[in-house]
Chain A
Amino acid sequence: MRALLIRDLRLALRAGGGFGLGLAFFLIVVVLVPFSVGPSSELLSRIAAGVLWLGALLACLLSLDRLLAVDWEDGALDLLATSPLPLEGVVAVKAVAHWITTGLPLVLAAPVLGVLLNLPGPGYGPLVISLALGTPALSMIGAFGAALTVGIKRGGLLLSLLVLPLYVPTLIFGAEVARRGAQGLDTSTPMLLLAGITCAVLALMPFAAAAVLRVNLR
């Protein structure tokens, strides 16, 4: 498992654009928001938390279609499926690697972009915590979507259609934490619910994703 994780990370690093692309996309989304809603700092500080969450979610979505497709095309996935590591483990490791290359940089970049959007002072802590809690769930759900559409040519758009509704609960609770934090309210209830969703997704989703992948590898 560790070898697979290191291999995936190394591939993402050397292929270039693994870390950078998602981050650049996140930055561009955040920059485009003031252009579209106007530069009023009062308005921006009210929507900052939600925009950052939405941007992180879209940046996560962007790289999903390569999550399994590369290994599918060159046949590495078939080898992984016949390896002693169970397919559930393979999918989970792939999701973790995706999170490290996409989710983690987003979490770290979010406070910097929060400054751009005039995020109120007490909002930074909850924003980072909620993103750190929520993005692993996004990666894992995305791995399920990627497994579902891996056999389809040009499945990228379909992947978004399938994955985005599944993102709704995570987004609701995550953005709620960030928004309440920015208003200086108590964040513990949505935070616990968000953590619960992430734990459940991490525990159960690998099974669904592996089942789907087995069908596709048949």
Chain B
Amino acid sequence: MSLWEYANPVKFLSLSERALPWLWGGAALCLVIGLGWGFFLTPDDFRQGSTVKIIYLHVPAAFLAINAWFMMLVASLIWIIRRHHVSALAARAAAPVGVVMTLIALVTGAIWGQPMWGTWWAWDPRLTSFLILFLFYLGYVALWEAIEDPDSAADLTSILCLVGTVFAVLSRYAVNFWNQGLHQGASLSLDKEENVADVFYQPLLVSIGGFVLLFLALVLYRTGTEIRVRRTRALIAREERASGLSPEVRDA
């Protein structure tokens, strides 16, 4: 039993149908626990007051915004190397979710930044690189929408994803060089010294788990939709061929 069996759309669909209720349920549970715990049961920060609580939306969204792109990169590589359609469709399905996550991170960041830094927006390296990531997402989604032939669209967007990754990383470090930041350092690195205090850390982990499950559920659901859309199109095309309506058949 290898992982590649799930490249078969039928197997993929049956697995995702079995997994989806669990993912939706787990996401709902984790989000309710994580956000409820975070919003109502943690103390206010001694300096930031209650505004600190937006961290439970901001950090998970930012975390997923980056990792959704990473997932798209892996899926694109699988499509380029092994030509599994499910993989290309999964990358396509993940992109709009990534757009929304990036947007949530940017907006909650602005709402958080207003009382804390006294400004909605600053050209800080982290903020700027997120904005650039958002533009990359938009370009990727727009390219998918613009191309009609599904296979060339998958090819072109995969290559764009690879090239875009290189440039996104490059931009990340270029903006570091370009301006100094207001944003604090990593709040989630594996190094324990750098992390936020445990009171905030534990509910944060739960809500990140909830966001991850939600992301997985959305991506599986949307990939299933894409597979069905493509199947429907194939059926319609076959029907047209059979009834001799399509121009190629008539001309032949």
Q: Which residues of A contact B (CB under 8 A)?
A: 144, 148-149, 151-152, 155, 158, 161-162, 164-166, 168-169, 172-173, 176, 190, 193, 197, 205, 208, 211-212, 215-216, 218
Residue of A nearest to B160 (CB): A148
CB neighbours of B132 from chain A (8 A): 165, 168
Q: Are A165 and B139 in contact (CB under 8 A)?
A: yes
* B16 sits at the interface (CB 8 A): no
Of A162, A166, A172, A190, the contact of B143 (CB 8 Å cutoff): A162
Contact partners of A176 in chain B: CB under 8 A:
177-178
Query: Are B159 and A158 closer than 8 Å at their CB atoms?
Result: no
Which of B47-55, B81-89, B164-172 forms part of the interface with chain A? B164-172
Q: In the bound complex, what is the Cα–Cα distance between A77 and B135 (angstroms)?
A: 30
Chain B residues, Cβ within 8 Å of A211? 159
Contact of A168 among B138, B155, B159, B174 (CB under 8 A): B174
* Chain A residue contacts of B156, Cβ below 8 A: 148, 212, 215-216
CA distance A197 to B171 in the complex (A): 11
| Dominant secondary structure at the B interface | helix
Residues from chain A with a CB closer than 8 A to the CB of B135 are 161, 164-165
A138 to chain B, nearest CB (A): 13
Residues of A within 8 A of B180 (CB): none
Is B142 an interface residue, CB under 8 A from the partner? Answer: yes
| A161 engages B138 (CB within 8 Å) | yes
Question: Is the CB of B116 closer than 8 A to any CB of chain A?
Answer: no
Asked whether B136 lies within 8 Å of A165 as measured between CB atoms, the reply is: yes
Interface SS, A side: helix
Complex alpha-carbon distance, A218 and B162, angstroms: 21
Q: Tell whether, in the assembled complex, residue B159 and residue A169 are in contact, meaning their CB atoms are under 8 Å apart.
A: no
- Tell me which residues across on chain A come within 8 A of B170, comparing CB atoms: 169, 197
- Judged by a CB distance under 8 angstroms, whether B175 is at the interface is yes
Q: Which of B140-158 contact A (CB under 8 A)?
A: 142-143, 146-147, 152, 155-156
Shortest C-beta distance, A181 to chain B (Å), equals 16
- For A215, the closest partner residue in chain B by CB is B155
Of B142, B164, B168, B177, which one neighbours A190 at CB under 8 angstroms?
B177
CB contact between A172 and one of B136, B147, B164, B174 (< 8 Å): that residue: B174
Give the contacting residue for B147; candidates A144, A152, A173; CB below 8 A: A152
Q: Does B249 contact A (CB under 8 A)?
A: no
Residue of A162, A164, A216, A218 near B160 (CB, 8 A) is A162
Residues in B neighbouring A166, C-beta threshold 8 A: 163-164, 167
Q: In the bound complex, what is the Cα–Cα distance between A193 and B164 (angstroms)?
A: 19
CA distance A188 to B162 in the complex (A): 30
What B residues does A169 contact at CB under 8 A?
167, 170-171, 174
